[in-house]
């Protein structure tokens, strides 16, 4: 396939000579409200599944519908709404992947897990991601318009340009949202049927501790449909390796071991005495962590040529931008002096702000700026090729933590006191990289529809600030009510980050188990398979990857039945799935509120108001049939033509 060529003569939908309403009060307010909504739902999804998906498309669809009902709007106003709203989703993803790791970094980490610190780190990382994308916009968005497709950004532009069809598009999202919220409410709040099905073989059986669980949640099926059958299948394969290969193998060998196997778990139990979940926590998760570690690094190494070229172009563009005095509306960015001054002030803020883990540590601020600009560039380039939902943010964060902890160890900073500092550096860089990827998609949309970049960049800062308040509040409330690290909110990404930091700083990481995971990823790469999705699946609970795989199978069936591949992010199935994700996540937050006020009981393990839908074999069969019914509803919705 020939490489597409740049398109220097590209003309946006709204010409630069025109100046329709754009950065209006109603667009700002509605965008901020969508940012709060999708930011909160992303917190819940990230803590439960360890995954996030881009919210730009459903926000763009909803913006068209809502603004039409408020008296109409211009395409540029709709674009500002989705730009501001998408900041909430990207910042939330960066937050929940990293900051909850403080909970697991005893003794100092839990004392730093507070609303003030979560919000301040979210502010710093989110705004840094926006500012550092300003000098990259011309190099990556404009000059490489024909080379970097930015799939979500291009799809968003398609939605906005087809704004007169917003009613049909929005109706699909609202239907998915309603069904997702109803399903989650019936299973978690009303508790009519069980929330998960599955089976674990007995320890004394011929296949001990082999586990296949399925969390029958609408948001997981929606995620699987959005990412597609190939990625969903590779993720599930990673789960199969951990829960149906390594776990039984370890259990079989453990029957012949007289004592505990190092690293000895806190319980001191032998392998033959441990449950499947205890074995995963004590041993298998280190293998999964090693697989994610290697896959993340391999992904970054693979992009080194593009990273080097992007840096070269961005530095050239940065120098040229200081002397450019263009008055063309579509080329106006935040002034570069503001970018430089703002970035330095944010770095200084991290070093002097009271009660932050980084207070008084100027090295931490320097590392944030260096790693931040590096991975912002990487993130923008990668999302330009594969999209924000597939952006390997966790790999970039792991690389940041490894480099940071290596520097700390070299300086002799190996005590528990330095673990919160390391995760704070990783958190700011992770949030900046996540928001830079989303910012790139938004700027691509703006470039195609003819938006004013400075308005978009300002709107993104507003989105970061407003959504950070609710992101911190939601994260803290979910921890207080449900408990981050529990079966309902396992926070897999954050626990992974904590494991890496503790192991590197204490220099007692079980490298044997980690290296097993490393070479699993290497083996996959040698087989020609990109290992990141597999590695993430090997670290996640199989109860998460199995329903995601089910969503991928639904998409494969729909594409085979209709004879068309849903390559666009604007397909009916993707929009309906986005609604399922948002609806299920918001109902999960509502459950947390009701549970926190003692209005309902805990959903996990409860017998419910219809016992046979919960108990034993009948409950398992009922859950499977209901999940199949949800799959059929999704398949039916996905076959509709909406554009």
DSSP category for residue 613 = G
Domain of 316? 25-176+292-501
Residue 3: the pLDDT is: 38
Q: What are phi and psi of 199, to 5 degrees?
A: -155, 140
The better pLDDT of the pair 346, 640 is held by: 346
Residue 308: the pLDDT is: 64
Contacts of 35 (CB under 8 A, 6+ apart): 84, 85, 86, 87, 88, 89, 463, 466, 467
Do residues 397 and 292 make contact, with C-beta atoms less than 8 angstroms apart? no
Residue 463: the pLDDT is: 95
| Rounded Cα gap, residues 69 and 81, in angstroms | 14
Nearest to 98 by CA among 501, 450, 377: 501
Residue 250: the pLDDT is: 93
| Rounded Cα gap, residues 279 and 203, in angstroms | 11
Other CB atoms closer than 10 Å to residue 318's CB: what's the count?
Answer: 17
DSSP assignment string, 510-568: -HHHHHHHHHHHHHHHHTT---HHHHHHHHS-HHHHHHHHHHHHHHHHHHHHHS----S
Q: Is residue 635 part of a domain?
A: no
Residue 307: the pLDDT is: 56
When pLDDT is averaged across residues 475-490 and rounded to a whole number, the result is: 90
Spell out a b/e string for 319-338, using b for 16 or more CB atoms within 10 Å of the CB, else e. Answer: eebeeeeeeebbeebbebee
When pLDDT is averaged across residues 113-118 and rounded to a whole number, the result is: 94
Question: At which residue do the structure tokens 């195609």 appear?
Answer: 448
Q: Is residue 586 part of a domain?
A: no
Residue 231: the pLDDT is: 84
Residue 322: the pLDDT is: 45
Confidence of residue 113 (pLDDT cuts 50, 70, 90): very high
* Total count of domains within the chain: 1
Q: Is residue 131 part of a domain?
A: yes
Q: Is the pLDDT of residue 321 over 60?
A: no
pTM above 0.85, yes or no: no
| Rounded Cα gap, residues 566 and 573, in angstroms | 8
Nearest to 392 by CA among 381, 402, 406: 381
Q: Is the pLDDT of residue 7 over 70?
A: no
| Rounded Cα gap, residues 248 and 276, in angstroms | 9
pLDDT in tens, 370-421: 888 888 877 887 777 656 665 667 777 887 888 899 899 999 998 889 999 9
Q: Is residue 388 part of a domain?
A: yes
Q: Is residue 324 part of a domain?
A: yes
Rounded to a whole number of angstroms, the distance between the first and last alpha carbons of the chain is: 28
| HSE-up of residue 53 (Cα within 13 Å, Cβ side) | 26
What proportion of the chain, given as a percentage, has pLDDT over 90?
Answer: 36
pLDDT in tens, 173-210: 888 889 999 998 888 888 888 888 989 999 888 899 99
Q: Where is mean pLDDT largest: 161-175, 233-247, 274-288, 369-383?
A: 233-247
Handedness of CA 265, 270, 272, 275 (dihedral sign): negative
Q: Is residue 630 part of a domain?
A: no
Do residues 417 and 106 make contact, with C-beta atoms less than 8 angstroms apart? no
Q: Is residue 520 part of a domain?
A: no
Q: Is residue 303 part of a domain?
A: yes
C-alpha angle with apex 355: 350 to 361, nearest 5 degrees? 45
DSSP category for residue 488 = S
Contacts of 495 (CB under 8 A, 6+ apart): 101, 104, 285, 485
| Rounded Cα gap, residues 311 and 136, in angstroms | 9
Question: At which residue do the structure tokens 């320890």 appear?
Answer: 203
Other CB atoms closer than 10 Å to residue 70's CB: what's the count?
Answer: 9
- In this structure, of 220-234, 297-311, 533-547, the range with the lowest mean pLDDT score is 297-311
Residue 413, helix vs strand vs coil: coil
Q: What is the mean pLDDT of the chain?
A: 84
Q: Is the pLDDT of residue 608 over 80?
A: no
């Amino acid at each position: 396939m020939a490489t597409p060529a740049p398109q220097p003569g590209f003309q946006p939908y709204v010409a630069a000579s025109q100046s329709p309403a754009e950065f209006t009060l109603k667009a700002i307010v509605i965008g901020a409200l969508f940012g709060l909504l999708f930011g909160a739902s992303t917190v819940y999804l990230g803590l439960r599944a360890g995954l996030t998906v881009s919210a730009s498309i459903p926000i763009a669809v909803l913006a068209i519908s809502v603004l039409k009902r408020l008296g109409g709007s211009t395409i540029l106003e709709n674009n500002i709404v989705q730009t501001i709203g998408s900041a909430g989703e990207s910042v939330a993803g960066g937050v929940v992947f990293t900051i909850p790791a403080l909970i697991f970094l005893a003794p100092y980490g839990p004392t730093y897990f507070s609303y003030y610190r979560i919000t301040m780190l979210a502010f710093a990382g989110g705004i840094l991601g926006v500012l550092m994308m300003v000098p990259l916009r011309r190099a990556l968005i404009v000059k490489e318009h024909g080379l970097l497709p930015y799939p979500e950004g291009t799809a968003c532009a398609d939605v906005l340009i087809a704004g007169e069809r917003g009613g049909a598009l929005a109706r699909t999202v609202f239907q998915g949202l309603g069904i997702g919220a109803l399903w989650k409410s019936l299973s978690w709040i009303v508790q009519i049927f069980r929330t998960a099905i599955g089976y674990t073989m007995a320890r004394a059986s011929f296949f001990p501790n082999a586990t296949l669980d399925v969390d029958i949640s609408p948001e997981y099926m929606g995620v699987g449909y959005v990412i597609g059958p190939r990625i969903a299948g590779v993720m599930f394969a990673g789960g199969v390796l951990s829960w149906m290969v390594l776990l039984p193998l370890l259990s079989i060998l453990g029957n012949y071991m007289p004592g505990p196997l190092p690293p000895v778990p806190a319980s001191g139990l032998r392998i033959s005495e441990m449950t499947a979940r205890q074995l995963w926590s004590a041993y298998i998760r280190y293998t999964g962590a090693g697989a994610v570690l290697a896959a993340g690094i391999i992904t970054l190494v693979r992009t080194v040529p593009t990273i080097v070229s992007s840096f070269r172009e961005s530095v050239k563009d940065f120098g040229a931008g200081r002397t450019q005095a263009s008055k063309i509306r579509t080329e106006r960015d935040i002034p570069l002096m503001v970018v430089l001054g703002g970035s330095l002030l944010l770095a200084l803020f991290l070093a002097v702000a009271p009660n932050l883990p980084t207070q008084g540590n100027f090295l931490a601020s320097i590392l944030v700026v260096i790693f931040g600009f590096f991975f912002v560039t990487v993130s923008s380039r990668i999302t330009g090729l594969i999209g924000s939902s597939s952006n390997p943010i966790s790999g970039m964060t792991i690389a940041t933590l490894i480099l940071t902890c290596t520097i700390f160890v070299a300086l002799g900073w190996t005590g528990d006191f330095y673990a919160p500092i390391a995760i704070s550096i990783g958190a700011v860089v992770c949030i900046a990289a996540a928001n830079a990827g989303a910012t790139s998609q938004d700027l691509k949309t703006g470039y195609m529809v003819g938006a004013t970049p400075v308005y978009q960049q300002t709107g993104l800062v507003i989105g970061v600030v407003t959504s950070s308040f609710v992101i911190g509040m939601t994260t803290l409330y979910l921890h207080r009510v449900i408990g981050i690290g529990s079966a309902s909110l396992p926070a897999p990404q954050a626990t992974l980050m904590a494991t890496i930091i503790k192991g590197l700083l204490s220099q007692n990481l079980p490298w044997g188990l980690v290296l097993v995971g490393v070479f699993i990823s290497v083996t996959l790469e040698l087989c020609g398979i990109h290992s990141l999705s597999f590695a993430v699946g090997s670290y996640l609970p199989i109860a998460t990857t199995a329903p995601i795989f089910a969503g991928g199978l639904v998409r494969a069936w729909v594409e085979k039945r209709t004879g068309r591949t849903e390559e666009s992010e604007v397909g009916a199935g993707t929009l309906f799935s986005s609604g399922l994700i948002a609806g299920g996540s918001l109902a999960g937050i509502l459950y947390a509120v009701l549970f926190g006020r003692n209005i309902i009981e805990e959903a996990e393990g409860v017998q419910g108001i219809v016992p046979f839908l919960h108990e034993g074999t009948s409950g398992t069969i009922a859950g499977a049939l209901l999940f199949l019914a949800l799959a059929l509803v999704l398949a039916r919705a996905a076959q509709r033509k909406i554009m």
